[in-house]
Chains A and B, each alone.
Chain A
C-alpha cells in the first residue's frame, strides 16, 4: 500500500474466509495503483479512488442542496408574506431586493423567477442526480461487488470534475447582473431560445445550457463506468442474481441515463443553434416589441418532446437509486430477507422500460393530439403496477420483522410513506382529462415534491446514516438523526399536503404573488403556514449538515467491521479501507445478499460458504 498501511485491527471470520477462498488478483504485488495518490492532491483532490470520489459527490451535493433549499426559503417568504419588508435580505441578495423611498424592500419579480428556476435545476440535477446516484453508485458498486475500483478510475475522476465544472458555471451565473436563467427548470422555448425574451434569457441562459451540457458529460462518464463495472468486474461467485438491490438500482439507473441524457443534449444543441446561429428549430413567427423576428417554421413543442424524453426517465434516475438504498436498509435493519427479491428486480426493469414511453403525460396541455394522449395515459397508469409491487414488498419486508428503529431505517420507512402519498396523486395527473384542471397548478408541485423531492431525499438520508460508518469510520449522532427524521417527516407533509388543496382550487404554479387575485387571496393564511413549515424543515436540514460534519471528526468511532450485522461485502473490508478496498485477496461469493434470520443465524455473510445441503439465493427461505 502507499503511505498509510492498512492494519487490520482484528481478524474476523470473514478475513479468514477471504484468505482461504478469496481470489488472488495480485493487486498488491504491483504498485502502479498507488503512485497516483501518493500526495494530498492526488489523494483527496484529483483522486481516482471511488470511495473518495463518492465523498466528493456527496459533499458537493450537500453544498448545492443548501443553496437550492435556501433559494426556496427566499421565494417561500415572498409567497407567504408578500406584504412584508424584505430590506433585511439586501446584504445577501443585493439589488434583487428593490428598496423604495420609504425603505421598504421587495423581491424583484424577475429574480423570483430566477430563484424558482435555479431551485429546480439545482435540486433535480446537482443534488438528486449527481449527489445521490454519484455518491452511492461510486461508493457501493465496487465495494458490494468485490471489485478493487471502477473499470476506469480515470473516467470516474473526470465524471466528478465535469460535475464540478458544470456547477461552477451555474454558480457563476448567479452573479450575472442580468441574473441567472429564469424560464423554469424545464427551459421551454421561447423564453429559453430567444436571448431577448427576458433578462435571464441572455447570458443567464447561455451559462445554464453550457453548464448542463457539461453535466450531461459528467453523467455519461459516470454511467458508462457503472455499467461496465457491474457487468465486468464482479468478483467470483457474484452472479447478477446475487447482487444486492442497491447495485441493480444503480445499474439500471445508469442505463436509463445513458439512453436519455444524450437526447437532452440533442435538444440543447438545437437550442444553441437557435440562440447562436439563428436557426429556427424552436422559434416561429415571433414579435418582440411589435417587431417581427426572422424566425420561420420552428416548433416549441419539438423541444418539449426532446426535453421530456429525458425528463421523465430523469425522475426515475432520481428515484431508483433511492429505492435501491431503501430496499437494502430495510432488509438489514428488519433482519429479514428482502421480500420478493426477483420481483423487485423485475419491477425495476419494468419501471425503467415504461419510463421511456410515457413522456407526453407532461404535455397533455401542450396541444398533443388527444387520441395519442390515450396511449400515454395508458402506459403512465401501468407504471403504478410495478411501483405497487415494490411498495408491497417493502411493507412485507418490514412486517413482523424486528425493525431496529434508527435514523437509517426510519428514513427508509419514511421513504415508503412518501412514495405512496406522491404516487397516488400521480394517478390523478396521469388521466389526461383530470390533468386539464390540474396541470401547472400546485397539485403538480405537491405531487412531484412528495414523490420525488422528499422521497429521494429520504432514500439519500437512509443511505447516508447507514453507510456513514463505512465512509468515515464513525457513526452519526443518533439523537440528532431522529430529531432530523421526525421533524422532516412532519414538516414535509405540512409543506406539501396543503398544496394539493391549492392545486385543486386552481392556484397556478410559478406565480410571484397571489394576494392580488380575488380568486386566490383567501389562501393567504395557508401560504403563510406553508412558508413557516418550510423554514422549520430547512433549519432541520442545517442540523443534519452540522451532525454530518461534526461526526466526521468527532462522531463515535466504529470499532467492529460490521456494525449493522449486514451480509454484503463492503462490511468485510477494513474499517477504513485503503486503495483497492481489500488488503489481501478479494472475497469470493457463494450466496445472495439477503441471508438474514436463516437457519437460526441472525445473518450470514456473502463470503460464508454454503453448508452441506444448504439452499441458496433465497430458495427455501421462510417468507
Chain B
C-alpha cells in the first residue's frame, strides 16, 4: 500500500487514519444489519409470523465468540510486552475459537431445520437464517484476517514494530466488532420473540 497515511499527518490526529477508516467501515456494516433487523421488525408487525425457540447452540456460541475476543485481546497484550509464546498460543486459540463458532452456527441451523423451521418457510425463520448467515460471512472475513496474522506470527521474526502493532490493532478492532455484532443480533432475536 502506498504509505502516504503512514506519514505523520500534521501531528494533530490522535488516531491512526487506517484505524479510523476501519471504525467507520464497521459503522457501515452496522447499518447493513440495522437494515436487516428493521426489516425483521416491519415484517413481524405485518402478522402471519411463526414463533419458535432459538437453538440453544446460539447461546453457547455467544460464549465461544466472546472467549475468542478475549483471547485475541490477551494475545495483543503479550505481543506488546514481549511474551512471544503466550502471544502465539493465544492468537492460535482465538483463531480456533472463531472456527468453532462457525461450525456451531452451522449446527444451530441444523437444529432449526430439525424442529421444522425452514429457510424457505415462514419469513420468521428465513430472517434468522439469513441474518445469522450474513453475520457468519463477516466472521469469515475476520478469520481471513486472523489467518494472515497467524502466518505472519509464525513466519516472521518476532519484533514489535509500529507497522505490525497497527496491523494487529486493526485485526483486533474488527474481531471485537463482529463478536459484538453477534451479541447484538442474539439480543435482538431474544427481545423480539
Chain B residues whose CB sits within 8 angstroms of the CB of A267 once the complex forms: 35, 39
A48 close to chain B: CB less than 8 A: yes
Q: How far is the CB of A520 from chain B (nearest CB, A)?
A: 36
Q: Mark B141-156, 1 if CB is under 8 A from A, else 0.
A: 0000000000000000
Give the A interface residue count (CB, 8 A).
58
Closest to A274 in B: B126
In the bound assembly, the distance between CA atoms of A151 and B33 in angstroms comes to 26
A306 close to chain B: CB less than 8 A: yes
Q: A279-B126, A294-B120, A298-B123 are in contact. Are A269 and B36 (CB under 8 A)?
A: yes
B2 close to chain A: CB less than 8 A: yes
Interchain CB contact (< 8 A) of A232 among B2, B20, B25, B134: B20
B27 close to chain A: CB less than 8 A: yes
Q: How far is the CB of A253 from chain B (nearest CB, A)?
A: 14
Identify which of residues 1-58 in chain B touch chain A, using a CB-to-CB cut-off of 8 Å.
1-5, 7-13, 15, 17-18, 20-21, 24-25, 27-29, 31-36, 39, 42-43, 46, 48
Q: A220-B28, A302-B43 are in contact. Are A297 and B15 (CB under 8 A)?
A: no
Chain A residues whose CB sits within 8 angstroms of the CB of B134 once the complex forms: 269
Q: Mark A14-26, 1 if CB is under 8 A from B, else 0.
A: 0000000001011
> How many A-B Cβ pairs are below 8 Å?
144
In the bound assembly, the distance between CA atoms of A279 and B13 in angstroms comes to 47
A409 close to chain B: CB less than 8 A: no
Chain B residues whose CB sits within 8 angstroms of the CB of A218 once the complex forms: none
Chain B residues whose CB sits within 8 angstroms of the CB of A30 once the complex forms: 3
Chain A residues whose CB sits within 8 angstroms of the CB of B24 once the complex forms: 224, 227-228, 258
B119 close to chain A: CB less than 8 A: yes
Q: Mark B104-128, 1 if CB is under 8 A from A, else 0.
A: 0000000000000001111100110
In the bound assembly, the distance between CA atoms of A25 and B165 in angstroms comes to 22
Chain A residues whose CB sits within 8 angstroms of the CB of B32 once the complex forms: 262-263, 265-266
Q: Say whether A305 contacts B39, CB under 8 Å.
A: yes
Interchain CB contact (< 8 A) of B13 among A32, A232, A264, A299: A232
Q: Say whether B20 contacts A236, CB under 8 Å.
A: no
Q: How far is the CB of A484 from chain B (nearest CB, A)?
A: 37
A203 close to chain B: CB less than 8 A: no
In the bound assembly, the distance between CA atoms of A150 and B5 in angstroms comes to 8
In the bound assembly, the distance between CA atoms of A469 and B97 in angstroms comes to 56
Interchain CB contact (< 8 A) of B36 among A48, A147, A266, A305: A266
Q: Say whether A258 contacts B21, CB under 8 Å.
A: no
Q: A152-B18, A224-B21 are in contact. Are A273 and B130 (CB under 8 A)?
A: yes
Chain A residues whose CB sits within 8 angstroms of the CB of B4 once the complex forms: 33, 148-151, 153
* Most chain B CB within a 10 A radius of its CB, from A150, A264, A270: A270
A235 close to chain B: CB less than 8 A: yes
Q: Say whether B10 contacts A23, CB under 8 Å.
A: yes
Chain B residues whose CB sits within 8 angstroms of the CB of A299 once the complex forms: 42-43, 46
In the bound assembly, the distance between CA atoms of A262 and B33 in angstroms comes to 8
Q: Mark A239-280, 1 if CB is under 8 A from B, else 0.
A: 000000000000000000011111111110110010001111
In the bound assembly, the distance between CA atoms of A236 and B8 in angstroms comes to 12
Q: Say whether A278 contacts B120, CB under 8 Å.
A: yes
Q: Say whether B35 contacts A263, CB under 8 Å.
A: yes
Q: Say whether A279 contacts B5, CB under 8 Å.
A: no
In the bound assembly, the distance between CA atoms of A149 and B17 in angstroms comes to 12
Q: Say whether B39 contacts A306, CB under 8 Å.
A: yes
Listed A/B pairs (23) with beta-carbon separation below 8 Å: A23-B10, A33-B2, A33-B3, A33-B4, A36-B2, A147-B9, A151-B17, A152-B17, A152-B21, A153-B1, A224-B21, A228-B20, A231-B20, A232-B17, A236-B12, A262-B31, A262-B35, A263-B31, A263-B34, A269-B130, A273-B130, A281-B123, A297-B48
Beyond A224-B28, A267-B35: 8 further Cβ-contacts under 8 Å? A27-B7, A33-B2, A147-B9, A149-B4, A233-B17, A259-B31, A280-B123, A306-B39
